[in-house]
Amino acid sequence: MKLRPLALILTLLLLAALAWGALAPLAPANRDELFEIPKGTWARRMAGDQVEILPERIHLTLGANDVLLLRNLDEVPQVFGPALIMPGQSFRLPFEVASSYSFACTAHASGQLSVIVAPHPARGWETLNWRLRVWIKQLS
Amino acid sequence: MMRRLLLSLFALLLASPLLAATPRLKAGVFEPPHAAPEFSLQGSDGAELKLSRYRGKLVLLVFGFTHCTEVCPITLGTLVQARQALGKAGEAVQVVYVTVDPERDDAAQMKRYLAAYDASFIGATGQPAALAAVRASYGVVANKLATKGGYAVDHSSSVYLIDRAGKLRGMMPYGHGPKDYVHDLQLLLSL
């Protein structure tokens, strides 16, 4: 019997959290989707290691994570996605239109890097879904 | 004390656009910017073409070939519109078009082809090995593909933005319109 008020409070809190997740506007402080080439990558590749850093397909969302940020922390220049990036240099590529983008990329067997940019999630289910996916990604 | 602090803050505010290494461009931005790789090729004007020839101008570096039917006509057309939209300031913008097809693109062919867009655009050709070295220094890919009528070249389609000091500032992916170029060129011209 004592559990009933507690369950009610928890349910209300859960509903409030879901409502916030669905209705609060997405305004992340940082919209960068970062990929880094760690130091020593070139040496590892020379030693025969298969080092995969950048996936062949990258999914971004307008207004949420719509900037592809590639950083080379290694000691040699690296072709990283669409650009040749010098040691210690980064390449910041913003997207403003939802679409599929294809870039020549020698780092992949297919020779292509695809960046799929989704539209800004609408308030409600789409925003909630986006937040849930981010939370799950952060937890995993 | 308070006055000095306020003056310092004011000075910092005034200086902040200058302190920013690279403004927010529509193009992809290299940070920090490095010197754009130099090259020495044959210009479509018949003279040796080095990037340093255009120090003091903004250079839009394009890789393509004159028999390209899909990407190059759109890119060059976009650059013509952007340059025209800049008006007088467009004179400080130089388009350099480096061929990925030296077999067919000699200096005369490139001059004829580029004149149809803008007579100020300059082409660059050379020995295959020299052109391959230039492509490698910019991370440009070009692959010859057999077609029914002969061959085409599948090539990287981005445009490189090089500032007046010769630094590689950005890379505009294919598909951006003249407005985005005008936006970025105005920002880079104001540096």
User: CB-hemisphere CA count at 13 Å for A100?
Assistant: 6
* Within a domain: B10: no
* Within a domain: B175: yes
Q: Which residue has the higher pLDDT, B160 or B191?
A: B160
Among A90-99, A124-133, B97-106, B178-187, which stretch is predicted with the lowest mean pLDDT?
A: A124-133
- What are A35's strand-pairing partners? A70
The C-alpha of A83 sits at a distance from chain B's nearest C-alpha, in angstroms, of 6
Please name which of B149, B148, B169 lies closest in space to residue B160, comparing C-alpha atoms. Answer: B169
* Average pLDDT of the residues in A105-125: 85
* Pairwise CA distance, residues B171 & B37, whole Å: 14
Confidence grade of residue B23 (pLDDT, cut at 50, 70, 90): low
pLDDT of A38-53, one tens digit each? Answer: 999 888 888 888 878 8
* Average pLDDT of the residues in A99-106: 85
The C-alpha of B66 sits at a distance from chain A's nearest C-alpha, in angstroms, of 20
User: Given CB atoms, is B167 within the 8 Å cutoff of chain A?
Assistant: no
Please name which of B59, B66, B136 lies closest in space to residue B99, comparing C-alpha atoms. Answer: B66
Please name which of A101, A27, A11, A15 lies closest in space to residue A60, comparing C-alpha atoms. Answer: A101
CB atoms B32 and A89 under 8 Å: yes
- Listed by number, the residues of chain B in 20-59 with a beta carbon closer than 8 Å to a beta carbon of chain A are 24, 26-32, 34
The pTM score is 0.85
Q: At what angle do helices B178-189 and B71-85 cross, to 10 degrees?
A: 50
Q: Give first-to-last CA distance, chain A, whole Å.
A: 37
* Within a domain: B4: no
* Within a domain: B21: no
- What SS3 class is residue B150? strand
Residues of A in contact with B155 (CB under 8 A): 104
* Within a domain: B149: yes
* Within a domain: B76: yes
CB atoms A83 and B156 under 8 Å: no
* Pairwise CA distance, residues B44 & B113, whole Å: 10
Q: Would you say B42 and B125 are in contact if contact means Cβ atoms under 8 Å apart?
A: yes
Q: What local confidence, expressed as pLDDT, does residue B91 receive?
A: 97
Domain housing B116: 29-189
* Within a domain: B133: yes
* Pairwise CA distance, residues B127 & B135, whole Å: 12
* Within a domain: B6: no
Confidence grade of residue A139 (pLDDT, cut at 50, 70, 90): confident
Angle, CA of A48, A49 and A52, to the nearest 5°: 135
Q: What local confidence, expressed as pLDDT, does residue A52 receive?
A: 80
pLDDT of B58-91, one tens digit each? Answer: 999 999 999 999 999 999 999 999 999 999 999 9
The structural domain count of chain B equals: 1
CB atoms A86 and B34 under 8 Å: yes
Model ipTM value:
0.83
Q: What local confidence, expressed as pLDDT, does residue A1 receive?
A: 54
CATH number of B96's domain: 3.40.30.10
Please name which of A82, A76, A71 lies closest in space to residue A115, comparing C-alpha atoms. Answer: A82
DSSP string, B20-32: SSS---SSEEEEE
Locate B67 and state its tokens: 């028999």
